[in-house]
């Protein structure tokens, strides 16, 4: 693969070029000290190598590896993880831009992961795709040093969107046509960005995939309990001087403290309402009305979104011991929880959006491969958008080996997502999509 220099506003970047695509990887978009707000990257005169994948935030193995397989195992780890990657057609000229925020409950994942490679989406959809990595867990969503500077991961994301505004034209992208999209915690990030005044004007369309909207409110008591547990785990060690290992141990203590808060504990780390740059939760309705006037949304979920979480719960483990009867109960419980956490809140959000005069559409993913053990579960749509069948071949959610992805369906999904990025809801087949 050849290299090429891209002259961005930040400075010259050395990127890969081949097979009709440009890949700029591991591009630093901001810098920050531990527990400090990010600063946008200063301009540089020297050529910066953007040919290798950047680091992921320090993290423990994902609880959903039994669903997706490992996601970040091949990446370096660093607290300085404010990096992004750009995939663009070689001849791109003012194309729509799609900015991806990965999921992982705000404690795992990275936009640099091979499973999120956007070659097919870029080529087939004629779009420029940006994958963003941001601080996670105690590094990004529970400031153990300075409670007046919270939501560091969200601040990182806003910096990334500002980088896109300043630099994406150099890759052939149109900064006036930016769609943000994310799955799970990434979808929750999109909601937070919609509500942040600081993000106003940085994007005009948004796709929310499997966003746990019912878990956004009533978090203050849980956050206080998490903070106390994390501080106790550090045993007097200053958070700024603690090792990464000590901070991850404190994060585990915080997660344990969150479990007594029921479903909320399933998304223990998240942007904290009322802490800059996120307004208080009681302003949400007026902020939705404002955002609806300027942003189109596509929001949806999968038929069995919640089943992995039911399976891994203590009740799910007991049900597995009951054989077929237990499995039937698990399926039914998973679908009921899906509607409570993902389905009904998503539909209600889109209704509120359109009632406020905005444009919105919904989707539901019903597809799963034959023999898939968890049905159309959380994350099942990701192989339809990103990576290759080979990169997803270790994902247990795709069923017994050989694990396969429906290539025709994948093309249709990528076509719908990119059509939305080009022309909004007017380009969709219908206002309520069924993906199967």
The answer to whether residue 236 sits within a structural domain is no
Which residue range is the domain that position 16 belongs to?
2-216+270-435
Q: Is the pLDDT of residue 284 over 90?
A: no
Q: Chain-centre distance of CA 197, in angstroms?
A: 20
pLDDT at residue 167 in the model: 98
397/287: higher pLDDT: 397
For the ranges 97-106, 311-320, 373-382, which has the lowest average pLDDT? 311-320
How do residues 176-205 score in pLDDT, each as one tens digit?
Answer: 999 999 999 999 999 999 999 999 999 999
The answer to whether residue 232 sits within a structural domain is no
Q: Is the pLDDT of residue 326 over 90?
A: no
Residue labelled with tokens 């990434």: 186
Cα–Cα dist 322/160, whole Å: 48
Give the angle 306-403-52 at the CA atoms, nearest 5°.
90
The answer to whether residue 222 sits within a structural domain is no
pLDDT at residue 31 in the model: 97
Average pLDDT over residues 252-274: 96
Q: Would you say 208 and 195 are in contact if contact means Cβ atoms under 8 Å apart?
A: no
The answer to whether residue 221 sits within a structural domain is no
The answer to whether residue 241 sits within a structural domain is no
Average pLDDT over residues 134-140: 98
Pairing label, strands 39-40, 30-31: antiparallel
pLDDT at residue 402 in the model: 86
**Which band of pLDDT confidence, cut at 50, 70 and 90, is reported for residue 417?**
very high
Q: Is the pLDDT of residue 285 over 90?
A: no
Instruction: Let me know how long the chain is.
Output: 436
**Which band of pLDDT confidence, cut at 50, 70 and 90, is reported for residue 256?**
very high
Task: Report which of 432, 383, 430 is spatially closest to residue 411, judged by C-alpha positions.
Answer: 383
How far is residue 347 from each of residues 103, 203, 280, 296, measured CA to CA in Å? 20, 22, 23, 15
Assign 48 to helix, strand or coil: strand
Q: Would you say 111 and 48 are in contact if contact means Cβ atoms under 8 Å apart?
A: no
Q: Is the pLDDT of residue 112 over 90?
A: yes
CATH number at residue 331: 3.40.50.1820
Average pLDDT over residues 15-29: 97
Rounded percentage of the chain residues whose pLDDT exceeds 70:
100
The answer to whether residue 358 sits within a structural domain is yes
The answer to whether residue 274 sits within a structural domain is yes
Residue 224: which residues within 8 A CB-CB, separation 6 or more? none
**Which band of pLDDT confidence, cut at 50, 70 and 90, is reported for residue 315?**
confident
Residue labelled with tokens 């007594």: 260
Q: Look up residue 320 and give its two tokens.
A: 């597995």
The answer to whether residue 265 sits within a structural domain is no
0.95 exceeded by pTM: yes
How do residues 365-383 score in pLDDT, each as one tens digit?
Answer: 999 999 999 999 999 999 9
Q: Is the pLDDT of residue 218 over 90?
A: no
pLDDT at residue 317 in the model: 86
Element (H, E) at 130: strand 128-132
The beta-carbon contacts of 1-9 under 8 Å, at least 24 apart in sequence, are 3/51, 5/47, 6/50, 6/170, 6/171, 7/170, 8/166, 8/167, 8/170, 8/171, 9/43, 9/166, 9/167, 9/170
pLDDT at residue 356 in the model: 95
Residue labelled with tokens 């929880």: 337
**Which band of pLDDT confidence, cut at 50, 70 and 90, is reported for residue 1?**
confident
Q: Is the pLDDT of residue 138 over 90?
A: yes
Count: domains in the chain: 1
Task: Report which of 219, 205, 210 is spatially closest to residue 186, judged by C-alpha positions.
Answer: 210
How far is residue 138 from each of residues 70, 116, 279, measured CA to CA in Å? 21, 24, 21
pLDDT at residue 42 in the model: 87
Residue 264: which residues within 8 A CB-CB, separation 6 or more? 215, 218, 219, 222, 258
**Which band of pLDDT confidence, cut at 50, 70 and 90, is reported for residue 325?**
confident
Cα–Cα dist 18/8, whole Å: 19
Q: Is the pLDDT of residue 319 over 90?
A: no
95 pairs with which residues across the strands?
A: 173
Q: Is 19 exposed, middle or buried (0-12, 13-18, 19+ CB in 10 A)?
A: exposed
Q: At what angle do helices 244-258 and 220-234 cross, to 10 degrees?
A: 140
Assign 182 to helix, strand or coil: strand
83 pairs with which residues across the strands?
A: 28
**Which band of pLDDT confidence, cut at 50, 70 and 90, is reported for residue 436?**
confident
């Amino acid at each position: 693969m050849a290299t090429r220099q891209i002259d961005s506003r930040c400075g010259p970047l050395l990127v890969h070029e081949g097979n009709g695509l440009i890949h700029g990887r591991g591009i630093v978009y901001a810098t920050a000290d531990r527990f400090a707000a990010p600063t946008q990257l200063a301009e540089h005169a020297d050529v910066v190598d953007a040919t290798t994948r950047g680091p992921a935030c320090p993290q423990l193995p994902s609880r959903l590896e039994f669903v997706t397989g490992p996601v970040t195992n091949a990446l370096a780890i660093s607290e300085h993880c404010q990096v992004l990657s750009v995939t663009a057609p070689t001849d791109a000229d003012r194309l729509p831009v799609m900015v991806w925020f990965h999921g992982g409950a705000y404690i795992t994942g990275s936009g640099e992961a091979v499973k999120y490679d956007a070659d097919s989406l870029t080529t087939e959809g004629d779009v420029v795709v940006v994958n963003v990595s941001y601080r996670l867990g105690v590094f990004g969503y529970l400031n153990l040093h300075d409670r007046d500077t919270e939501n560091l991961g969200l601040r990182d994301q806003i910096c990334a969107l500002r980088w896109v505004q300043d630099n994406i034209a150099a890759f052939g992208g149109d900064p006036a046509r930016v769609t943000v999209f994310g799955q799970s915690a990434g979808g929750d990030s999109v909601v937070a960005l919609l509500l942040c005044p600081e993000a106003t004007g940085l994007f005009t369309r948004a796709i929310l995939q499997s966003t746990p909207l019912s878990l956004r409110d009533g978090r203050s008591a849980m956050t206080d309990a998490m903070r106390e547990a994390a501080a106790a785990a550090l045993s007097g060690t200053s958070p700024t001087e603690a090792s990464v290992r000590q901070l991850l141990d404190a994060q585990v203590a915080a997660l344990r403290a969150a479990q007594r808060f029921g479903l909320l504990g399933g998304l223990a780390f998240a942007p904290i309402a009322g802490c800059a740059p996120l307004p208080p939760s009681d302003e949400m309705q007026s902020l939705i009305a404002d955002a609806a006037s300027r942003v189109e949304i596509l929001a949806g979920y999968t038929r069995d979104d919640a089943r992995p979480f039911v399976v891994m719960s203590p009740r799910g483990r007991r049900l597995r011991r009951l054989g077929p009867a237990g499995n039937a109960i698990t399926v039914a419980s998973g679908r009921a929880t899906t509607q409570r956490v993902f389905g009904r809140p998503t539909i209600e959000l889109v209704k509120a959006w359109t009632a406020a005069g905005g444009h919105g559409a919904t989707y539901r993913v019903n597809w799963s491969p034959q023999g898939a053990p968890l049905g159309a579960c959380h994350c099942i749509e990701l192989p339809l958008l990103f990576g290759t069948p080979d990169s997803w071949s270790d994902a247990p959610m795709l069923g017994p080996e050989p694990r396969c992805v429906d290539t025709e369906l994948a093309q249709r999904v990528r076509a719908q997502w990119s059509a939305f990025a080009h022309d909004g809801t007017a380009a969709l087949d219908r206002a309520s999509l069924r993906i199967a």
